[in-house]
Structure 1
Amino acid sequence: MVADEQWMTFLTLVLPFLAAAVAPLLTRVLGHNAAWVLAVVPAFIFLHFTGFLGSVASGEPIAGGYPWIPSIGVEFSWYLDGLSLTFALLISGIGTLIILYSGGYLRGHPHQGRFFSFILMFMGAMQGLVVADSFLMLFVFWELTSIASFLLIGFDHSREAARRAALQALIVTCAGGLSLLAGLLVIAAATGTSSLSSLLAAGEGLREAPVYFAALLLVLGGAFTKSAQFPFHFWLPNAMEAPTPVSAYLHSATMVKAGVYLVMRLNPVMGETFAWETILPVFGGTTLIAGTLLALRQTDLKLMLAYTTVASLGLLIMLTGFGSEVAVEAAVLYLVAHSMFKGALFMVAGAIDHETGTRDIRKLGGIGKAMPITFAAAVLAAFSMGGLPPFFGFLAKEEIYAGLAAGSSWGVLLTLTAIAGNALMFAIGFAVGLKPFAGARGETPKHPHEGPVLLWLGPAVLAASGLLASLLSGLSHHFVSSPMASAVIGAPVEVTISWVPHLGMPLLLSALTVALGIAFYATLERGRGTMAAVLAAIGWGPDRGFDQLVRGTIRCSAAVTRTVHNGRLDIYMTVTFIVLAICLLVPMVSYGELPSMPVLEQLRIYEWAVLAIALIGVAAVVYARDRLTAIACLGIQGFAVALLFMLLGAPDLSFTQFMVETLSVVILALVMTRLRLYPADHRPASQKLLDFSVSSLCGLGFFLILLRVVQTPFDPSLSTFFAENSRVIAHGRNIVNVIIVDFRGLDTLGEISVVMIAGLAILALVRVRVGKSREKAIQEEART
């Protein structure tokens, strides 16, 4: 990549975030017309990435980047092949239409500027995710999409349902993000690479690694939560609490397809294994059927589309994991088709809601004449969703059955699953795209009429694109489908299917799907009632389980807090010192690192005297009858240590120790005097025995570990460094002072801060105690 192209690509990745920063101000100035200005940003990005279609179609990936954290070899790098380029075009192209649609849908909203800011940040995060090359860049943008979606789903934060849905999406997807991070770390450790391009070039290395299965589970944990695979599907329909532009964007080209993108990206290095070809089809097929059946139950247009998105994501996962080249081609075609027809249908649902005041399919009907452009866009999108020729959805469905209809029982089972799921999606697609516009006029809160251009432009363009991409399938395959399929498979392939029906098994299965879809559409009301009864009989579901998990976590944390933080300082100190004793003694005993006992006969008479003074101080503390005496005797040990420092040739350290011990005794004595603590020790004998045992073990642990330290060979390198550099660097002759003030200046500052905080806490306690005493005295005086 030449320097100019590299700079422009970097600009396209940061431009959405820059636009997000100025969007609120721009909206205050221009109102809803700011949508036309802000839409220039994704349009520019779309045009920039369009310029790479020729190179990528010829098999030349585009790579580039800049150093990010050079000290650890992390780069802000990108990698554009058929997969990432297609996603980038979908995100920016549909993003342009979503920005325009938002200008009309949220016209007059007091927080429209904030909405533009959030959705542009969301766009930038998703754009960075799909083009990221380095693992760290991928993870950062992955989590940023979760944060941005949290802000968008909870946009109407005054409603509890929106807040709950936003929090639910954040928890589920961020938990998956942590799983992905762990998986990427495992992959990096196993392969020695930290970029996707290098990983793709490594070939069989990851599949042959001992940690392959662990890495697979961790990566799929991130992919399944992001792309709402069963049983993590529940957050996606709840995300419909977001405004419709968010739903249209999130479901068509962005966040929910991030997991699908990850699975497709890693297929060349993690696919073709039994685990891959079992886990993905099982979970994908289950999600497909669960999503369509749950969609059948809904009456809200957005929820019907949301559950079919869950089903479509399951279909994509199932196809990617099936293991055949044609199935991957089908996944590629269906992903592109789904982005166009689902984005269009969501915007149609929003336009219907905006112009009629309701999304309830039971109240809608006969609005086709009042909203002719929206009606035309809805029908075209429904035809593509139903897989009817000559739309791009038909190409995808034909390829699905060509890829799954293998001779094995496994292929037959997945084919039947795809037929059932596609037939139900056919019924739901036409229920959303046809039923509100046909038949008798329903009773709606608002008189229906065609919306402004900003509301119908997006669905009209996307619906027409689904038709145009199919009619020009040769160009579509050359520039999009074939390069994308080649990137997913890891080898050059050529997609050749056209919109002209060809006799064969795939066409027969497509006809069967359409027939079943028409039957499901005709019995939609009965099917809705049946599913309602079934779900009522089942009762519990993952959505309710999420609430139970959150409540259980809160109760568990409260119980742990009550147990661990019970407000008793003596228990805190006992537990702390028990853990300290274990940490000191257990490792030495376990690893045979106990020190050898020193020979004490060589001590001089004055050394014996200092040791005797220390022992006398210990005895005085133990047998003191009141706390004030114990505090005074406590300084005896410190003075004994200070004497040892002086005798061993460290007078400055000795002086410091003398000062510390003197001040400590004086301050503690003053505090004890002001607090008026009673001298009696009310501890029972068992408590005294426990305290004695714990303190003895801690003392023994420190004694042994210090003795072991001094018996290790002395390494003079640090002492030599300080001796050689104290004068040169710190301009000080006293090495100890230089170490404390210069080399360990931050440590000294931290110690001073700790002492200061402790002093302030003591002062606060004294004042509280004194204040209570004065208050009590005033009350007694008043009573007398």
Structure 2
Amino acid sequence: MDIAALTFLALGLPFIAAIIAPVLARLLGHNAAWVLALAPAAVFAHFLTFVPEVANGEVVTGGYAWIPSFNVSFSWLVDGLSLTFLLLISGIGALIVLYSGGNLKGHPHQGRFFSFILMFMGSMQGLVASDSFLMLFVFWELTSITSFLLIGFDHGREAARRAALQALVVTGGGGLLLLAGLLILWNVSGVTQMSLLLSFGAELKQSPFYLAALLLVLGGAFTKSAQFPFHFWLPNAMEAPTPVSAYLHSATMVKAGVYLLMRLNPVLGGTPEWQVILPLFGATTLVAGALLAVRQTDLKLMLAYTTMSSLGLLVMLTGLGLPHAIEAATLYLVAHALFKGALFMVAGIIDHETGTRHLTRLGGLRSAMPLTFAIALAAAISMGGLPPFFGFLAKEEIYAALSAFELRSVAFAALTILGNALMFAVAFAIALMPFLGPKVSTPKHAHEAPVLLWLGPGVLALSGLSIALMSGLAHRMVSSPMASAIAGKPTPVEISLVPHIGVPLLLSGITVAAGIAFYLNLVRLRGAMATVLADIGWGPDRGFDQFMRGLVRSAVIVTRRVQGGRLDVYMTLTFLLVAFVLLAIPFLYGEFPRAPFFAADVPLHELAIMTIAVAGLVAIMIAPDRLTAIVSLGIQGFAVAMIFLLYGAPDLSFTQFMIETLSVVVLALVMTRLQLSPSDHRPWREKVPDFALALACGTGFALLLLRVTGVPFDASLTAFFNEYSKAIAHGANVVNVIIVDFRGTDTLGEITVVMIAGLSILGLVRLRAGALKRPVVAAVLVEEEDAEERV
């Protein structure tokens, strides 16, 4: 099997595993996790083989044509950026599947959860590997849908349903903005693939549509990556099971927006707009998330807000445009995925083994859970930016990018120090406070977690240490190719664990000192933030509820006004619009047809047919009852059928005769069955407007037909059908071939409409028959109710 087929299989393997997951869970229980984890492990192994090739600066592309006429393909792009994401998604995904087996052991819907998490995994892989704009958007929305299923997994709780709906609305709405942005990029560049778009940076930046495309793309990225003020859905998503939080909301999905910004940096980056909007929103999100994190006592909420803060830091670094900023973003993205995924799983272990995850109800767990404590401490050291973990390298590179002595760098350095120091305090609060100090009584007897629970966070924490110790190899194989793909030019990453004396190390020391101070005064900070938030009151989360209520109320009002339930109003408005369109265009644009020329030698039989049609019209208008009007209506159809016959279209004439005959018969039978009033008793003041409306529509169609027939006949379509009906559809009857083959879908639609109309007629007949019997049935029911009451 060639590399393209293997890559296609690797991208689809999680979806295949998702299909069989419920069956395996039913057969093997929580042990199914060991089998299902083989799928992401195999994907990880496959993409690991790409590392040497990508490290040499090569880009792997491939795929299959989907809709060649529209240049739409299922194609992938594997470079340093997408390869790093693919390895994180599949590698952490395998650990998350194992962790889910232990965390949800005994859950009645564990198989469904495995299926959802694997579907998300496949969607996220497709997103970061997509080269096609369309496939990128499809997988982007699939991540929103699968995250909706995962967040609302415990659908019996209202909070989980609300959080899932909120995440879907925010990220789904952002997806629509992204689609509009991609369409603009397509329109400006003329290409539909990322690999080709990367060479159109200059054209896009000079385009008058650049700002519109940038804002739309940022709308999609900011909502997905929880940037302020779209951040509120991320903390609420903690209603999901802990494996979801550890996977989606720290390592993968929330970084999709960051991935998009990094991917488009060579195309949209480097402009004043880019370097103002991204750092501004990113720094705001960084500080806001860190301040909101210290307010919380729930371990998952503390981690959620610091995740929001870290995403803001990544967005800020991506947009700064300073030397070493891209390298810093590269290192921090990988480091964050490792330490935050581990800490989320540690929070889940604590909750699973003690019955609570609130910081104020935990303490003294070190002796009961020594391995979990060691893992938590290792991950916290990396999150705090201390050696010898990978987080230290990321923090040093961040401060190297912000060490220039200029106002802009100083301002963002101050904000970064504040945010990092607060995250330092939160990291060690999670790693130390539950385990140290006097032992606190917990709802469950605390003990060490089984292997399925500690294996995942243990591997991630150990990876943060191993990668830092082998930083040279890691940079050559992963960091440098990723930074080069983001920057759009060769960008080597060279930082190591050996500290460089200078401004970066000084800023790092200030961060650690401030973090220790914040940690020691965490209770006071929590109280101060609670007071500030109480004084502010309103926030985006509450605003979302108000927006949704307003949206529902507006929909109700509009529906009541527009859909009042009266068929005559609907039909009147429809024909008014038709008449307006048909008559307004000729008046506005002077497209009136020339006056029709009537020859003096019109054949007598044609005049007779036209006379019959007019006579039928008069008969309809003066008919004494509706049954007569229906029969008279058939006269019009027969006249049209005769015209078709006279002008050489016997097949159309035959079809028209059949339709008119059946229509008259069916309508007559239905009208008789429904026992409608025998005549129209409305006064003339109600009939005149209907007459005027009918006359306007008829006049409009007459003008349109005269204008169309006045245009020189274009026989190209006729020639096409004559040439290809026999060659392609193997039919000698051109009309039949057009209906059955060339317009097969249209014919199917017409058949469907006729079927629906028949079912509607049957429903009306039965409804009328039921209405006639209803009084008898109602009387019987009343008697039975009275009898029950007497008993």
Q: TM-score, normalised by structure 1?
A: 0.92
Partner of 2:216: 218
Cα distance in 1 between the residues matched to 2:386 and 2:741: 78
Partner of 1:566: 564
Is the contact made by 1:252 and 1:339 (CA closer than 8 Å) also made in structure 2?
yes
Shift of 1:732: 8.3
Is the contact made by 1:87 and 1:253 (CA closer than 8 Å) also made in structure 2?
no
Partner of 2:700: 701
Corresponding position: 1:270 with 2:268: yes
Secondary structure at the aligned position of 1:251 is classed as coil
Shift of 1:53: 2.4
Corresponding position: 1:96 with 2:75: no
Q: Which runs of 5+ in 2 are unaligned?
A: 780-791
Shift of 1:728: 8.7
Is the contact made by 2:71 and 2:192 (CA closer than 8 Å) also made in structure 1?
no
Cα distance in 2 between the residues matched to 1:469 and 1:455: 23
Q: Read off the aligned partner of 1:677 and give its amino acid letter.
A: L
Cα distance in 1 between the residues matched to 2:729 and 2:47: 56
Cα distance in 2 between the residues matched to 1:32 and 1:421: 40
Cα distance in 2 between the residues matched to 1:171 and 1:92: 27
- Pick the aligned partner of 1:467 from 444, 465, 478: 465
Shift of 1:683: 4.0
- Pick the aligned partner of 2:350 from 352, 359, 363: 352
Cα distance in 1 between the residues matched to 2:198 and 2:73: 17
Secondary structure at the aligned position of 1:114 is classed as helix
- Pick the aligned partner of 1:169 from 167, 189, 192: 167
Shift of 1:642: 4.5
Corresponding position: 1:342 with 2:340: yes
- Pick the aligned partner of 2:481 from 476, 480, 483: 483
Corresponding position: 1:676 with 2:668: no
Go from structure 1 to structure 2 and tell me whether the alpha carbon gap of 1:251 and 1:632 turns closer, same or farther (over 3 Å shift).
closer
- Pick the aligned partner of 2:547 from 540, 546, 549: 549
Go from structure 1 to structure 2 and tell me whether the alpha carbon gap of 1:200 and 1:747 turns closer, same or farther (over 3 Å shift).
closer
Secondary structure at the aligned position of 2:291 is classed as helix
Secondary structure at the aligned position of 2:360 is classed as coil
Shift of 1:91: 1.7
Cα distance in 2 between the residues matched to 1:136 and 1:682: 58
Go from structure 1 to structure 2 and tell me whether the alpha carbon gap of 1:764 and 1:460 turns closer, same or farther (over 3 Å shift).
closer
Shift of 1:492: 1.1
Root-mean-square deviation (CA), in Å? Answer: 2.8
Is the contact made by 1:252 and 1:340 (CA closer than 8 Å) also made in structure 2?
no
Secondary structure at the aligned position of 2:712 is classed as coil
Q: Read off the aligned partner of 1:714 and give its amino acid letter.
A: F
Secondary structure at the aligned position of 1:201 is classed as coil
Shift of 1:301: 0.2
Superposed counterparts of 1:517-596, under 5 Å:
517-596=515-594
Shift of 1:174: 1.9
Partner of 1:260: 258
Deviates more, 1:721-730 or 1:524-533: 721-730
Cα distance in 2 between the residues matched to 1:55 and 1:429: 37
Go from structure 1 to structure 2 and tell me whether the alpha carbon gap of 1:676 and 1:412 turns closer, same or farther (over 3 Å shift).
same
Q: Read off the aligned partner of 2:674 and give its amino acid letter.
A: L
Shift of 1:664: 3.8
Partner of 1:619: 618
Q: Read off the aligned partner of 2:559 and give its amino acid letter.
A: T
Q: Read off the aligned partner of 1:475 and give its amino acid letter.
A: L
Shift of 1:634: 3.3
Secondary structure at the aligned position of 1:406 is classed as coil
Secondary structure at the aligned position of 2:221 is classed as helix
Corresponding position: 1:765 with 2:760: no
Go from structure 1 to structure 2 and tell me whether the alpha carbon gap of 1:73 and 1:610 turns closer, same or farther (over 3 Å shift).
closer
Is the contact made by 2:117 and 2:150 (CA closer than 8 Å) also made in structure 1?
yes
Shift of 1:667: 4.1
Partner of 2:441: 443
Cα distance in 1 between the residues matched to 2:746 and 2:586: 28
Shift of 1:648: 4.9
Partner of 1:430: 428
Deviates more, 1:285-294 or 1:383-392: 383-392
Corresponding position: 1:159 with 2:151: no
Is the contact made by 1:645 and 1:653 (CA closer than 8 Å) also made in structure 2?
yes
Deviates more, 1:51-60 or 1:716-725: 716-725
Partner of 1:630: 629
Deviation string, structure 1 residues 76-129 (Cα, Å, up to 9, x no partner): 322222211221222222222222222222222222222222222222222222
Partner of 1:85: 83
- Pick the aligned partner of 2:409 from 401, 405, 411: 411
Partner of 2:327: 329
Partner of 1:597: 595
Cα distance in 1 between the residues matched to 2:473 and 2:729: 72
Q: Read off the aligned partner of 1:142 and give its amino acid letter.
A: W
Q: Read off the aligned partner of 2:183 and give its amino acid letter.
A: L
Deviation string, structure 1 residues 469-510 (Cα, Å, up to 9, x no partner): 223222222222222211111111222222233322222222
Deviates more, 1:589-598 or 1:694-703: 589-598
Cα distance in 2 between the residues matched to 1:667 and 1:452: 73
Cα distance in 1 between the residues matched to 2:729 and 2:65: 35
Partner of 1:457: 455
Is the contact made by 1:390 and 1:500 (CA closer than 8 Å) also made in structure 2?
no
Cα distance in 2 between the residues matched to 1:141 and 1:732: 42
Is the contact made by 1:251 and 1:342 (CA closer than 8 Å) also made in structure 2?
no
Secondary structure at the aligned position of 2:205 is classed as coil
Is the contact made by 2:385 and 2:394 (CA closer than 8 Å) also made in structure 1?
yes
Q: Read off the aligned partner of 2:689 and give its amino acid letter.
A: L
Is the contact made by 1:392 and 1:470 (CA closer than 8 Å) also made in structure 2?
yes
Deviation string, structure 1 residues 510-551 (Cα, Å, up to 9, x no partner): 222122212211221122122222222222222222222222
Shift of 1:657: 4.6
Instruction: State, as a whole percentage, how many aligned pairs show the same letter.
Output: 67
Deviates more, 1:718-727 or 1:131-140: 718-727
Go from structure 1 to structure 2 and tell me whether the alpha carbon gap of 1:777 and 1:469 turns closer, same or farther (over 3 Å shift).
closer
Cα distance in 2 between the residues matched to 1:331 and 1:721: 58
Cα distance in 2 between the residues matched to 1:723 and 1:54: 58
Partner of 1:35: 33
Q: Read off the aligned partner of 1:705 and give its amino acid letter.
A: L
Is the contact made by 2:251 and 2:340 (CA closer than 8 Å) also made in structure 1?
no
Partner of 1:293: 291
Go from structure 1 to structure 2 and tell me whether the alpha carbon gap of 1:282 and 1:692 turns closer, same or farther (over 3 Å shift).
same
Is the contact made by 1:482 and 1:494 (CA closer than 8 Å) also made in structure 2?
yes
Superposed counterparts of 1:331-410, under 5 Å:
331-410=329-408
Partner of 2:787: none
Deviation string, structure 1 residues 140-195 (Cα, Å, up to 9, x no partner): 22222222222221222222222222222222222222222222222122112222
Go from structure 1 to structure 2 and tell me whether the alpha carbon gap of 1:771 and 1:55 turns closer, same or farther (over 3 Å shift).
closer
Cα distance in 2 between the residues matched to 1:461 and 1:732: 67
Secondary structure at the aligned position of 2:261 is classed as helix
Cα distance in 2 between the residues matched to 1:264 and 1:726: 51
Q: Read off the aligned partner of 2:96 and give its amino acid letter.
A: I
Go from structure 1 to structure 2 and tell me whether the alpha carbon gap of 1:236 and 1:776 turns closer, same or farther (over 3 Å shift).
closer
Go from structure 1 to structure 2 and tell me whether the alpha carbon gap of 1:570 and 1:83 turns closer, same or farther (over 3 Å shift).
same
Go from structure 1 to structure 2 and tell me whether the alpha carbon gap of 1:628 and 1:132 turns closer, same or farther (over 3 Å shift).
closer
Q: Read off the aligned partner of 1:290 and give its amino acid letter.
A: A
Q: Read off the aligned partner of 1:104 and give its amino acid letter.
A: G
- Pick the aligned partner of 1:23 from 17, 21, 27: 21
Shift of 1:724: 7.1
Is the contact made by 1:230 and 1:286 (CA closer than 8 Å) also made in structure 2?
yes
Shift of 1:593: 2.1
Cα distance in 2 between the residues matched to 1:343 and 1:651: 74
Is the contact made by 1:150 and 1:170 (CA closer than 8 Å) also made in structure 2?
yes
Q: Read off the aligned partner of 1:762 and give its amino acid letter.
A: I
Shift of 1:601: 5.4
